[in-house]
Amino acid sequence: FILMKNQILILSLFLSILFMRDEISIEIITTNDLHGNIAPQKAWFMNPGFPPDISGGAALLNYVKENRKESDLEILVFDAGNFFQGHPYGMNDGGLKMIEWMNQLEYTALVPGENDFVLGQENLNKLADKAKFPFLMTNLICDDCKLLSDNIKPYIIKDIGDVKIGILGIVNSAIEGLVPSEKIKGIKLENSIKSIEKGVSLLKEKKVNSIIVLTSSGVPWDRDEKYDEFEEKLENQSIDPYLMDLNSIELGRFSNGVDVIVSGGISKGYNLPWYDPYSHVYIFQNYGNGTGFGHFKIDFDSSTKIFKGYQTMVDGKVGQTLLSDDFDSDADEYSKIEEHNTKVIADLYKPLNLKESPLQSINNIIQKKTNYDQWDIPQLGTDLTL
């Protein structure tokens, strides 16, 4: 009996070692739609009467640092757009404080969202220059535009052990209807599917084993219903996806060769990813406004380097809320963020000084002028009577 027990233990140990060698894993931490809000805040959305505290950026910084110390796996950190516009903390200096914070977290890459163009191309280009990580814009067509930073790239490749990971960035192609035309003069965004197909083909030529897409196209609310509606239109051939602006799950339907999509663009989070039955891609999106983040692990077969799937890292959920009770903060960073946030809020609400020079007028918006005087309308009355 003792001999048999020892044999079973040896066999179990052998199988454990064999299983460990049979898998390569990479951890991924994600944010989206931060909107410049990394300061401590109240979680009014959880309990309007007694909202718990959210520690924000200081807690996420501490979480990433501690995981890098404790984990023996490579950790990639991604942002899926709209990272600075929306809160005084991010807008006060045009996003520079946000980039400073993201540099501390050692982000791997981000894709800009439509709101990141709100202060113009020159500002976004300056932020890319300040970042220690690339801004990915695979579908960017720059026709004498201002996005000229060497840090703006169509893709990157990460060599992690024996696995090569290709990363693309798809900017929301609906940006022309979401951003004043003056801010995106000279910018065109190629159809998302066309850019995905070109990007996948290029990366496969470079012998990548897996492809991750960052996109600011947004996973919509009621994703099941929206996907069913889209699928019905495809079956009826009433739409051409190559001529459309697509959200993230619509894009995922045609993302053959892609394993993971990290989405932003809508501040709606999901605890588990969307899985597309056609392309077999997993699509992740978190709640926005600095309230949380995502954390999961992707696995590869060690011999074939083929993507095997994902695993959650905390409590069976991808999305995590940065509650003070659950996540400790980096004390120094907490003080810095709180001090800056107090200052910018005070600046925002300081009394108006009427002696100051007037604010600059809003830039003229380039508009297409159309003559609508095309028809003869009969006179129905006079200036005095109808």
pLDDT (0 to 100) of residue 336: 96
Q: What is the pLDDT of residue 241?
A: 97
In this predicted structure, what is the pLDDT of residue 362?
47
Which amino acid is residue 171, in one-letter code?
A: V
pLDDT of residue 176: 87
Amino acid letter, 24: I
Residues of the chain with pLDDT under 50: 18-19, 360-362
pLDDT tens digits, residue range 150-183? 999 999 999 999 999 999 999 999 998 899 999 9
Alpha helices in the chain (DSSP H): 2-21, 57-70, 88-91, 96-105, 121-130, 192-205, 223-235, 248-252, 331-348
Predicted local distance difference test score (pLDDT) of residue 99: 98
Residue 41 CA, distance from chain mean position: 21
Is residue 58 within 8 A of residue 333, CB to CB? The reply is: yes
Q: What is the pLDDT of residue 5?
A: 52
The span from the CA of 296 to the CA of 310, in Å, is 7
pTM of the predicted protein model: 0.86
